[in-house]
Amino acid sequence: MARAKIALIGAGMIGGTLAHIAAREELGDVVLFDIFEGTAKGKALDLSEAAPVFGKDSNLKGTNDYADIAGADVCIITAGFPRKPGMDRSELIGKNLGVIKQVAEGIKEHAPKAFVICITNPLDAMVWALQKFSGLQPRKVVGMAGVLDSARFRYFLADEFGCSVEDVHASVLGGHGDTMVPLVRYSTVNGVPLPDLIKMKWTTQERVDAIVERTRKGGGEIVGLLGNGSAFYAPAESAIEMAKSYLRDKKRILPCAVRLSGQIAGVRGLYVGAPAMIGARGVEKVMNIRLKQDEREMFMNSVEAVEKIIADCKEMEPELKD
């Protein structure tokens, strides 16, 4: 059987890391696309030269020609600009909306059957715009944020309990911004929910509240530390998890930015983070979890934040207006 073809649109920090993981895991042949041809070609060649050392076979190609992504099974988009310390992700639309428009046109023309995972920020608005510009089926266009946000939540909780990260599961809903909703009630250690762990005196409400707040601001914490760029290892690992679930029809249930059609709090037509089953048909199901009043309020607050960014995108690009 032919190898899967994975197109990485954007060959910067996340794009290069994605290529590295895809090659090491022999997920398929990799096309690295970037407006800077040298960056894409250089990283593809460097990784090709590493392959004999790690002993895996994948073809890696760098390009600035969309024709090279033809027939891709998966496209992962990181093209665009990261924020700088002190900036909000929403401030990136001025630069990144135009980039997403170009990327959508490239994918629509050359890889319209691909499963498309958007990472570019501000995430929920960019994946919404990408689906609109490209006209691809919503079930084949998703955004990566929830896997990353819940991985941060899991890491902070495992650190709090001094236990393995493998035994901590967590769910984060809503937009990828400071209003995201880490769901305490649905987060567990060995199946035991956090509120029970508080009763068991494994931690306190105050400490859990602080972890929730740190999770919400997790991206900004890394931006502040790096000084010149944003997180890339954890975002790349997270998108690969989503790509693998599609390519291997694993039907993982992962928190992703998906276009809702009423499953959570009745929200429709908007891309926002929710637990979704990813299989060979793309988004095969969205979990219709029931929220308590306070959770629902936090979720709607996050939805409103996404709606505001989308309204600004519509002002910039009238073709996005319905």
Ligand X SMILES: O=C([O-])CC(=O)C(=O)O
Ligand Y SMILES: NC(=O)C1=CN([C@@H]2O[C@H](COP(=O)(O)OP(=O)(O)OC[C@H]3O[C@@H](n4cnc5c(N)ncnc54)[C@H](O)[C@@H]3O)[C@@H](O)[C@H]2O)C=CC1
What amino acid positions are annotated as catalytic residues? 176
* Crossing angle for the helix pair 123-134 and 93-110, to the nearest 10 degrees: 40
Query: Which residues fall within 8 angstroms of residue 12, CB to CB, at 6 or more apart?
Result: 34, 39, 78, 82
Q: According to CB under 6 A, which one of 96, 150, 187, 230 is a site residue for ligand X?
A: 230
The verdict on 220 binding ligand X (CB under 6 A) reads yes
Is-contact 114 74, C-beta < 8 A? yes
Of 12-20, 131-139, 164-172, 198-206, which segment contacts ligand Y by CB under 6 A?
12-20
Nearer to ligand Y, 103 or 168 (CB): 103
Query: Which residues fall within 8 angstroms of residue 160, CB to CB, at 6 or more apart?
Result: 203, 207, 211
Give the number of other Cβ atoms within 10 Å of residue 112's Cβ: 14
Nearer to ligand Y, 202 or 232 (CB): 232
CA distances from 164 to 154, 198, 261, 313 (A): 10, 18, 36, 42
Nearer to ligand X, 19 or 223 (CB): 223
Q: According to CB under 6 A, which one of 80, 143, 219, 282 is a site residue for ligand X?
A: 219
Residues 173-202 that bind ligand Y (CB under 6 A): 176
The verdict on 83 binding ligand X (CB under 6 A) reads yes
220 binds, among ligand X, ligand Y, none (CB under 5 to 8 A by kind): ligand X
Q: According to CB under 6 A, which one of 69, 129, 223, 306 is a site residue for ligand X?
A: 223
Q: According to CB under 6 A, which one of 97, 125, 231, 257 is a site residue for ligand X?
A: 231
The verdict on 255 binding ligand X (CB under 6 A) reads no
Chain Cα centroid distance, residue 61: 23
Nearer to ligand Y, 146 or 202 (CB): 146
Of 23-31, 218-226, 266-274, 284-292, which segment contacts ligand X by CB under 6 A?
218-226
**Which ranges of the chain would DSSP assign to H, the alpha helix?**
13-24, 37-54, 93-110, 123-134, 146-161, 194-199, 205-216, 218-226, 233-247, 293-316
Smallest distance, ligand Y to C-beta of residue 92, A: 6
The verdict on 119 binding ligand Y (CB under 6 A) reads yes
Contact pattern from residue 246 through residue 285 relative to ligand Y, giving x for each residue in contact according to CB under 6 A and a dash for the rest: ----------------------------------------
What 3-state class would DSSP assign to 250? coil
Q: Edge-to-edge strand order for the sheet containing 188-189?
A: 168-169, 188-189, 192-193
CA distances from 201 to 162, 171, 192, 196 (A): 14, 22, 13, 9
The verdict on 230 binding ligand Y (CB under 6 A) reads yes
**Chain positions contacting ligand X, by CB under 6 A:** 82-83, 89, 121, 148, 176, 218-220, 222-223, 230-231
